[in-house]
Structure 1
Amino acid sequence: MTTTTMQADLSSRVPSILPTQQGQFWGGQWHARAGAQMLDSINPSTGEVLARVQLATTDDVDAAVRSAREAFPAWAATPPLERARRLREAAARIRANAADLALLDAADCGNPVKAMLFDAEIAATQLEFFAGLVLEIKGETLPTANGSLNYTRREPLGVVARIFPFNHPFMFAAGKIAAPLAAGNTVVIKPPEQAPLSTLRLMELLADLFPPGVLNCVVGARDIGAALVSHPQVAAVGLIGSVPAGKAVLHGAADTMKRTLLELGGKNAMVIYPDADLERAVDGAVRGMNFTWCGQSCGSTSRLFLHESVHDRFVEQMVALLAQRHRPGLATHMDTTMGALINRTQYERSLGFIASAREEGARLATGGAHPKDAALAKGFFIEPTVFTGVTPAMRLAREEVFGPVLSVLRWSGEDDLYSAVNGTELGLTASIWTRDLVTAHRAAARVEAGYVWVNDCSSHFIGAPFGGYKQSGLGREESKDELFEFTQVKNVNVSLQ
C-alpha cells in the first residue's frame, strides 16, 4: 500500500476509536443494564456492524431526567463565567479529538470523513459562541410612575431535552448542548439510533467536565424520544427532524405545555434569473443540493427553478460539473466527496422517488442508480441524480426526499414562479441568483422561507438566526435567539414607598 493510499484509507483506524461504553449516561456515571436490548450500529458504506450499544428503557429516561432535575438548581446558580469556562473547555477537547470524532461519524453515518472534520469545528465554534453570550442573559429596568423599581430577570427553564437526526450526529450532539447549558439549564440528549456512536464518545470526553446530572444521554428509538417529550420534569424540547417528528413532539408536549424549538424539513427552492452569473450559479446549484451528504440535509435546495432562457445551457453545465465533483465513495476515505445514505430505509425511499419521477414523466438527466463500483456494492449508495421536466404537481417537487435527487423546473413569469416556489407547506431556506439589486430584494421578500441566500447557498453564519416558515419549524437557532429559547422572563416590582 502506498503512502498516499494509507493516508486516504482510514477504515483500519475505526475499531481503535470506538466508544468503550455501551450503556446510558446520567448523574455523571455510565449505567449498563444486564439483559438490555442491544442495537447494532451499521456502517452505511459497507453494511457491516461497527458496534453494539444498549437501548434505553423508559425507566432509564426517568432516571436521567430526575438526575438532570436534581442538578438543575446548582447549575443554574453557577456563575455565568464559570459555565462559559466549561463550555470553552468542551470546545478545546473536541478540537483535540476532531480527527477521531470525524472518522467515527463517517463510519457510523456514511458522510465523508473530510466533511465531518468541518462538522467537529462547527460544533466547537458553537460552544465557544454561546460561552461568549452568557453575560447577555440579563433583564432590564422599566420606568414606572408610582415610585417603584420594576425590572425583569431572564432565568433558565430547567431540564431541556435535545433530540437530533443522523445526518450530522456529532455536530448536533455537541453544538446543541451549548445554548441550554450556557443559559443554566441541564440537558438530556437523545442521539439518532441510526448513528449514536459519536455522541457516546462525546459523553466519554466530557464526563468529568460538568457536575453530575448537568449533561446526560439516553440512546433509543422513537419510544425513548416520546418518553422524554412527555416526561413531566422536562421543561423544554429542542428537536431537529422531520415534519411528522415535529408534530409528534408538539402533541407529546401539549399536556405539560413544554417550550418547543423545532427545526424541521425543507423542500427548498433555488431560483435562477436570466441575468445570473451562470458559472457561479451552476456551482451554487451543485453545492446547494448538498450531494456531499447525499442530499440528507434539511436545507438542501432540492427544487431548482431555471428561467427558460438559460435552462438548457445551465443543465448541461451543471451535469458536467456534478460528474466532475461528486462520485460516491467509502465515507472513511479522505478523497471521498459523496458518501452513503444512512440505511436501507432511506436508500429505498430515494429509489422510490426516482421511480415515481420517471412514472410521472420527468426526464432523467444523470444518475438514478446504485454506482457500478464493486467496492460499493454492499453500501447504501445512489449516484447524484438530476431530473428535468419536473412540474410543481409531481411528487418529486412536493415532498422532501432527503436523498441525492435534484428536481429542475422551468419558469418564465414571476407570478407563476413564486406561486410554485411557495406552493408547499415547507419554508426553511431559499436561494436567489441575479445580478440586479432590485430583483434580489423583491425576490427575497416574496419567497416564503426563513433563511434566504442571494447569490450564495448552504452557508451558515454563527449569530444569524436559522429557522423556518410554515411547517419547517418553530423558533430560531445558531444565534442569540436560540439562547433565549431556553430562558423565561420574570418581572419584579419593588415598592420604594
Structure 2
Amino acid sequence: MRRHEIPDGILPTQRGLYYGGAWHAPKAGAFADTINPCYDEAITQAPLADADDVDAAVQAAHTAFPAWAATPPVERGRYLRRAAAILREHGQPLAQLDALNNGNPVSALAMDAGFAADCLEYFAGLATEIKGETIPMGDGNFNYTLQEPLGVVARIVAYNHPLMFAAARLAAPLAAGNTVVVKAPDQAPLSTLRLAELVGHVFPPGVANFLCGGRDCGEALGRHPLVRKITLIGGVPTGKAVMKTAADSLKPVLLELGGKNALIAYPDADIDKLVNGIIAGMNFTWSGQSCGSTSRVFLHESLHDEVLARVVKLLPERHRPGIPTDPKTTMGSLVSRAQLEKVQRYVAAGLEDGGRLVCGGRQPDDPALKDGFFYEATVFADMQPHMRLAREEVFGPVMSVFKWRDEDALFDQVNGVDFGLTGSIWTRDLNTAHRAAKRILTGYVWINNASQHFMGAPFGGVKQSGIGREECFAELLEFTYTKNVNLKLG
C-alpha cells in the first residue's frame, strides 16, 4: 500500500512496451520502480526495454514505413489532429500524472498537453508544404527535387516535460512521412505509457511506437541500422554519447542540449518588468530544470543593487517549494535524489569559489516536504566568470548574478561559455536591443521577455547547446532528404 494514495484513473493501466500497434512485455522481463519525488516512494513499476525490445520496435516501425510514407499528406495531417484532440481532452489528468512522477507543479504542467496539441496541429497543417523545386537546365532537360522521408526516427525525450515532449516530438517526423519510436525518460516514464494508451491506436500499427528504458535502450536505438535519424532532448554528456553512437552508422542527429543562458540588463531597462523577467526566466517553477533557464544574470552597475534586492525579496514569496499535485504550488521538487545531490554540490562549489549566497541555498524546513527532493530558490551574487557555478549547467534552482560596466567585457563573459542556447536582453532602446541581439552567441534571443516559446519560431542552440532547430518549419525538413530527379526530354 502506498503511503500517499493516487486518484483513480491517473495511472496508465498498461505496464508494457507499445510497438506494432500492440502491447508487449519486455523480452527479458525487466521492470524497475518509478518514484514520486515528492515523497521518495515508488508509484509503480515501469518496463525496461533492452536491445531485443528495441529491435522488435524498430522492425515494426520499419515494416509500417512504406505505407505511411505513401499516405497522402492531408490524410497524415488528419491523424495528427485526432491525436491532438485526445490530448486536449485528457490534459488535466496527464498533468497530474507528470506532477506525481517528475515533481513539477500540476498548475504549470496543465499547459503541456495543450502545447503538444498545438505542435501536432501545426505540423498537420504543414504536411502538404514539404515541397521540392524545379531547376532550369535549358532545352532538353527537366530537373526537379523531392523531399523524401527518412524512414524510422528515434526520439529520446527529457524528464522535465515528459508528456509534452513525447507527444510534440511525434508531430514533425510523422507529418513528413516517417515512422517513430519514442523513448520515455527513465526518471519519469508514466505519462509516455499513458500517451501510448491514448493515441497509439489512432495511427496505423507501427507508425507511433513507445519504449521505456535506461541507457541500454537509448544506445540500442542509436546503434540500430534501421534507425535513420536519432534525436535527443537532454544534457551535453548524453548528447555526446548519442552522437558517438550514431557516428558508427553515419546516422544524422538532432540535439537539443543544455544551456548556461545569460540575461543582460542595460541601464535603461524597465526595472519592474526586469525583476519579473529575471524570476520568470530562471524557471523556478520547474526548480530550474529547464535547458532555456536564464541562470546567469548580468546587471549593469547602475541598477545592480536595487534589482538584486528586489529579486531577493520577491523570489521567496513567489516561488516556495510545495506539494506538486497541489494546484496552489508554485515550485515543485527536483526529479531525483541524484539531481538534488548535484544541486547541493554546485551550491557548495559556489561558496568555495567566493560567491555570495543571498537567497535560498538549502532544503526547505517544511515537515510536509522532508522526504522529497526539494530545494529552495537560490541566488548567488558577486559572481566571477572563472567560477564553476558561473560556467556549468546546474539544471536546478540556482541563479548567478554578475555586475557589469563595459559592454565589450560584458559580451566576452556572456559568450565565454561552451553553451549557446538562449539569451534575454532588457533595454528600452531599439538600437541597443538589436546590437546586443547580434552580439550574443545563442540560437534564441528574447528582448524584454524570457522563457516563452512561440509556435513556428525556431528553437535550438549553437556550440554545445545542440544541433538543429525544432518547433518550426525547419524541424519538418529535419526528417526529410533531398532527392534530385533529372528527365531527359525528347
Q: TM-score, normalised by structure 1?
A: 0.97
* 1:157-206 alpha-carbon deviations (Å, 9 max, x no partner): 00000001111100000000100000000000101010000000000001
Aligned mate of 1:331, from 324, 327, 338 = 324
Distance 1:175 1:151 in 2: 32
Partner of 2:25: 32
Structure 1 residue 399: Cα displacement: 0.2
Q: Aligned pair 1:482/2:475, yes or no?
A: yes
- Overall identity of the aligned pairs, in %: 59
Which secondary structure does the structure 1 equivalent of 2:380 belong to?
strand
Distance 2:200 2:303 in 1: 55
Partner of 1:4: none
Give the AA of the match of 1:250. Answer: M
Structure 1 residue 146: Cα displacement: 3.4
Q: Aligned pair 1:381/2:374, yes or no?
A: yes
Partner of 2:221: 228
Structure 1 residues 190 and 252, CA, compared in 2 at 3 Å: closer, same or farther?
same
Instruction: Tell me which stretches of 4 or more aligned residues in structure 1 moved more than 2 Å.
Output: 11-16
Partner of 1:440: 433
Distance 1:421 1:205 in 2: 44
Distance 1:34 1:173 in 2: 23
Do the aligned residues in 2 keep the contact of 1:14 with 1:104 (CA within 8 Å)?
no
Structure 2 residue runs of 5 or longer lacking an equivalent are none
> Comparing 86-95 with 250-259, which one deviates more in the overlay?
250-259
Aligned mate of 2:122, from 129, 142, 152 = 129
Partner of 1:360: 353
Aligned mate of 2:192, from 182, 194, 199 = 199
Which secondary structure does the structure 2 equivalent of 1:21 belong to?
coil
Structure 1 residues 33 and 453, CA, compared in 2 at 3 Å: closer, same or farther?
closer
Structure 1 residue 36: Cα displacement: 1.4
Partner of 2:258: 265
Do the aligned residues in 2 keep the contact of 1:105 with 1:197 (CA within 8 Å)?
yes
Structure 1 residue 34: Cα displacement: 7.0
Partner of 1:104: 97
Distance 1:367 1:65 in 2: 46
Aligned mate of 1:160, from 126, 146, 153 = 153
Distance 1:137 1:257 in 2: 24
Do the aligned residues in 1 keep the contact of 2:200 with 2:209 (CA within 8 Å)?
no
Distance 1:12 1:249 in 2: 38
Which secondary structure does the structure 2 equivalent of 1:298 belong to?
coil
Partner of 2:64: 71
Distance 1:350 1:458 in 2: 21
Q: Aligned pair 1:279/2:262, yes or no?
A: no
> Comparing 396-405 with 213-222, which one deviates more in the overlay?
213-222
Distance 2:321 2:113 in 1: 22
Partner of 1:17: 10
* 1:61-107 alpha-carbon deviations (Å, 9 max, x no partner): 00000110000000000111111001000000001111100000010
Structure 1 residues 228 and 35, CA, compared in 2 at 3 Å: closer, same or farther?
closer
Partner of 2:484: 491
Do the aligned residues in 1 keep the contact of 2:115 with 2:164 (CA within 8 Å)?
yes
**Cα RMSD (Å) of the superposition?**
1.0
Structure 1 residue runs of 5 or longer lacking an equivalent are 1-10
Distance 1:252 1:490 in 2: 26
* 1:341-399 alpha-carbon deviations (Å, 9 max, x no partner): 00000000001111111111111111011101100000000000000011000000000
Do the aligned residues in 2 keep the contact of 1:163 with 1:239 (CA within 8 Å)?
yes
Distance 1:12 1:384 in 2: 28
Which secondary structure does the structure 1 equivalent of 2:43 belong to?
strand
Distance 1:137 1:244 in 2: 33
Q: TM-score, normalised by structure 2?
A: 0.98
Distance 1:491 1:37 in 2: 46
Distance 2:446 2:26 in 1: 48
Distance 1:17 1:268 in 2: 35
* 1:101-124 alpha-carbon deviations (Å, 9 max, x no partner): 000001000000011111111001
Distance 2:34 2:327 in 1: 22
How many residue pairs align between the two structures?
487
Partner of 2:79: 86
Q: Aligned pair 1:138/2:131, yes or no?
A: yes
Which secondary structure does the structure 2 equivalent of 1:72 belong to?
helix
Q: Aligned pair 1:471/2:464, yes or no?
A: yes
Distance 1:200 1:237 in 2: 20
Q: Aligned pair 1:62/2:55, yes or no?
A: yes
Partner of 2:294: 301
Partner of 2:206: 213
Structure 1 residue 238: Cα displacement: 1.2
Partner of 2:337: 344
Which secondary structure does the structure 2 equivalent of 1:16 belong to?
coil
Distance 2:304 2:483 in 1: 56
